[in-house]
Amino acid sequence: MENSGNLTQIKTDTSKQPTRLPGNVIALGVVSFFTDVSTEIVYPLLPLFLTALGAGPAFIGLVEGVAEATASLLKLVAGWLSDQLGRRKGVVLFGYGLSSLTRPAMALAGAPWQVLAVRFVDRVGKGFRGAPRDALIADSTAPVLWGRAFGFHRALDHAGAVVGPLVAFLLLQIFFQSASSLEAFRTVFWAATIPAGLAMLVLFLAVREIKPPSDRRRGPPRLTLKPFSLTFRSFLLVLVIFTLGNSSDAFLLLRASDLGVAPAWIPILWMVLHLVKSVSSMPGSGWSDRVGRQTTILFGWTVYALIYIGFAMAWASWQIWALFGLYGIYFGLTEGSERAFIADLAPSELRSTAYGVHGFSVGLAALPASLSIGFLWNQFGPRVAFLFGSALALLAIVMLITLPAFRGSPKMAGRD
């Protein structure tokens, strides 16, 4: 059976199929947990840190724009590189290692341009680790557990995003008593090196290399999707359409503020979102192993479309809390399921490249998504902006149901 998009299903004795997640998946989940704790200790404080260093809003926007564009581009490079080398762990180590080195560098930064440079290196690390890490998860796991494995990884990643801001809050409460804001920020950034170091330790000691099978002749990089199946390319197109309506979550926080959520409660609202993401990721993505990827993704995208309608029509702050909770369920249903579906569709020797193409395409579409939502918000108000996002989600749903490439696939309908 080809795995380059031929989705013919071979029935197997389910009593002999594995039911436990492999050690690599658990270890990589722990690595992501500690890394995200470290990242989320630093990230919420960066705008305040830059302001204390004398930077204005335009420069803060430049820092984040450069950071995310860098990560998106390098996902494509790292994915191809990992497949060419026939190795995963070394590339993943390089990516996580770069990001870990930026924690003490951020604590030492004394000017806005230095923060920009450090943030750039941090996102280089993120760009390098994502695609080969996801490929290593798929390489390490039986196909019947792909959804559950990616859901487990996303759950621990989001758990880190819950713990990180809490740690930063507690540290600032301690150090603000006797230190200036800059000194307090630097102390917190130094503290962020501890979970980053723990992540590297787990990655080095507990994650083992699994060489992907490949008899493909290696060659120079080519910007082509020809080696991938029609179903993969169609899914990529549908994802881009969906992403064009999936703007930055900063607009959701802005909507929360507009509807009366007090500034002091915004970080708690953000933590609630990540908590729901963490709790729902493993059961949500694991569901795709039983009922099929298409069913799970369609359900998640439907939740998303309804949530954006909710953000458009909401009139009270209590509704925002409910919508943010439901928004976390959307992530739980889709993040791991989409990664598992890519593993279904991509040949093993191009699996890391496939994740790189996915990350690059979605990252590229995210910029016009936020620009369009921002334009519509300024011209017509938040209601039109959110309804536009919902409409594109509904268009993606229709495409995922009706495009010929998605018909008659057992992966879509669930496993026997």
Q: For 187-245, what is each residue's pLDDT tens digit?
A: 889 999 999 999 999 999 999 988 766 545 455 555 567 778 888 889 999 999 998 88
What is the chain's Cα-based Rg? 21
Between 99-103, 115-119, 254-258, the lowest mean confidence (pLDDT) is in: 254-258
Distance CA 30, CA 156 (A): 7
Torsion angle (degrees, nearest 10) of CA 34, 38, 41, 47: -140
* Mean pLDDT, the chain, integer: 82
Spatial separation of the C-alpha atoms in residues 374 and 47, rounded to whole Å = 20
Alpha-carbon torsion 320, 326, 330, 331, what sign?
positive
Task: Locate 224 and state its tokens.
Answer: 């082509």
Which of 13-33 are b and which e, b meaning 16 or more Cβ less than 10 Å from the residue's Cβ? eeeeeeeebbebbbbbbbbbb
Q: What is the pLDDT of residue 54?
A: 83
Residue 102: predicted pLDDT: 92
Same fold, 21-211 and 228-416: yes
Q: Does domain 228-416 have CATH number 1.20.1250.20?
A: yes
Name the pTM for this structure: 0.74
- Does the pLDDT of residue 14 top 50, yes or no? no
Q: DSSP of 182-230, one letter per residue? A: HHHHHHHHHHTHHHHHHHHHHHHHH----PPP--PPP-------TTS-H
Domain 21-211 belongs to what topology? Growth Hormone; Chain: A; (1.20.1250)
Reported as a single tens digit per residue, the pLDDT across 355-404 is 888 888 887 787 778 778 878 888 888 899 899 999 999 999 999 998 87
Q: Which tokens belong to 18? A: 């594995």
247, 370 Cβ separation under 8 angstroms: yes
Note the pLDDT tens digit of each residue in 106-142: 999 988 889 888 888 988 898 889 888 988 998 898 8
Q: Convert the pLDDT of each residue in 304-331 to its tens digit.
A: 999 999 999 999 889 999 999 999 999 9
Owner of token pair 């390319």: 233
Structure tokens belonging to residue 341: 């579906």
Q: Enumerate the H helices of 314-381 as residue ranges.
A: 317-345, 351-380
Q: What are the φ/ψ torsions at residue 88 (nearest 5 degrees)?
A: -115, -50
DSSP 179: S
**Lookup: tokens for 356:** 């790189």
Amino acid of residue 141: T
Give the Cα separation of 333 and 151 in Å (integer). Answer: 9
List the domain boundaries for the chain: 21-211, 228-416
**pLDDT over 90 for what percent of the chain?**
29
Q: Are 336 and 150 in contact (CB under 8 A)?
A: yes
pLDDT at 222: 57
Q: Write out pLDDT tens, residues 157-189.
A: 888 988 988 888 788 777 766 555 788 888 889
What is the reported pLDDT for 354?
87
- What's the pLDDT score for residue 13? 44
Q: How many separate helices (H) and strands (E) can be counted in the chain?
A: 16, 0
Closest to 355 (Cα-Cα) out of 127, 186, 19: 127
Residue 226: exposed, middle, or buried by beta-carbon count in 10 A (0-12, 13-18, 19+)? Answer: exposed
- Residues in CB range of 378: below 8 A, 6 or more apart: none
Token pair for 191: 């503290």
Percentage of the chain surpassing pLDDT 70?
Answer: 84
